[in-house]
Amino acid sequence: MLIEHAILGLLSLNPLSGYDIKKMFEGSVALYWSGNNNQIYKTLIKLHEQGWVSRETQIQDASPTRKIYSITEKGLEELRCWVSTNPEMPQVKNSFLIQLAWADLLTDSELDNLLERYESEIRMQIAMLNLQKQQKNVSPSGISRDAYINILSARTPRETFFWNMILENWLSYYQAELNWVCKLRTESQQY
C-alpha cells in the first residue's frame, strides 16, 4: 500500500489530523499498514509541499495545537489517477510458512503446540473481523464516536459497499487459512 494514497483517501472522506489518520490506520482492516508514526507525519509534509493537501492550524485551550489536513482538488485528482492505475498483485508475507519449512526439527508435541497457537491467532483475527462487521458505529480508539461517524457518513452507498467487500475479502482469507491449518494439524499426525 502506498501510504501517500491511503492518506489522500482518508482525507477525501473528511479533514483529519495526523493523529486521527494514525488511529484510522490502527482501527481499519482495509488500511493495514505497519510503518511508524513518523512516516505519517513526514508523508503529510510531503503531500502539503506537493499541493495535494492543505493544512490548518487549530489552537486549543487545554490541548496542544492541532494541524488539520484537507485534500485539495490537485490531491483528489492524484488519488483518482492512482485508483485507476493497474492493480498490483497482493504481496503475501507469511513468516509462519518459513517456520513450517523447518518444523520437522520439532517433536510431535512441540509441532502440535505451534499449530495450535497459529490456529488460535487466526480464530482471534476472524473474531475481530466479525466484531468489526457487526459494530459499524464503533470508532477506533482515540477518535471520538461522533468524528468517526462523521467520516463514515461522508461515504456514498457504493463506497460503503466497497469497504464491506474489503472486509469480506479479509474474512475469506483468514477462513481459508483456518481451514488450511486445521487440515495441516490433522494430516501432520500421520507423519
pLDDT value for 34:
64
User: Which pLDDT tens digit goes with each residue over 58-84?
Assistant: 888 888 888 999 999 999 999 999 999
- The helix or strand, by DSSP H or E, that contains position 57, with its residue range, turns out to be strand 53-58
Q: In the chain, which residues have pLDDT < 70?
A: 1, 29-35, 135-155
Tell whether pTM > 0.85: no
Using the CB atoms, write b or e for 43-82: b if 16+ within 10 Å. bbeebbeeebbbeeeeeeeeeeeebbbebbeebeebbeee
What pLDDT is stored for residue 13 in this prediction? Answer: 86
- Produce one character per residue of 114-133: b if its CB has 16 or more CB atoms within 10 Å, e if not: bbeebbeebeebbeebeebe
The model's pLDDT over 153-178, given as tens digits with 9 standing for 90+, comes to 656 788 778 878 888 898 999 999 99
